Amino acid sequence: MNLQQDLIQYLQQMVDFFEAPMCPLERFILECGQDFKPAKRPKGLRKMTDKQCYRNATVLSRERGLHYAEGFAASIIPVLHAWCVDDNGTVVDPTWRHPEKAAYRGFIIPQEILAREILRNGYYGVLGQDIIDIKLIERLRKFHLANQPKLAKAASGGMTS
């Protein structure tokens, strides 16, 4: 098995072991999330502050016009994490030291939802902070179902299967 498969297996085990409504983030990311291609940080992009992934990804997504994503990532063990994604579905992770050695599965959060949630909550991040917002997860699930072809096209760099 590889790290990406291990990450998906972890999410599946959590969902299988704990009945709904337990593990709503794992369930949402498993059902509606997508895998993203890990890559080294682009040349010229310096590593940002450790343990500030939600802030780092928010700032970078706005400065560079990248997609903001949240979900689970693993370099050793799966953790909640935030990163950016380019138009080709490639990870641009400003926080982790070696993002090319990690696995990523998450959900692209539209900028308008990201901005609204930051203003509403008073902190960075949408999905995985102190309190899990089940209503927001359900809104994102509906958004995902309504926009599935567009999201798949954006994540695959314009090529859908």
Each residue's pLDDT tens digit, 105-121? 999 999 999 999 999 98
Number of Cβ within 10 Å of residue 69's Cβ equals 27
C-alpha radius of gyration, the chain, whole number: 15
Domain boundaries, the chain: 3-155
Q: Per-residue confidence at 16, pLDDT binned at 50, 70, 90?
A: very high
User: Measured between alpha carbons, how far is 130 from 124 in angstroms, rounded to an integer?
Assistant: 11
Residue 132 corresponds to which amino acid?
A: I
User: Measured between alpha carbons, how far is 23 from 17 in angstroms, rounded to an integer?
Assistant: 10
Pick the more confident residue, 161 or 138.
138
Give per-residue pLDDT as tens, 43-77.
999 999 999 999 999 999 999 999 999 999 999 99
Pick the more confident residue, 151 or 79.
79
CA-nearest of 64, 122, 124 to 93 is 64
User: For the whole model, what pTM was predicted?
Assistant: 0.89
Distances (CA, A) of 47 to 78, 99, 122: 21, 10, 24
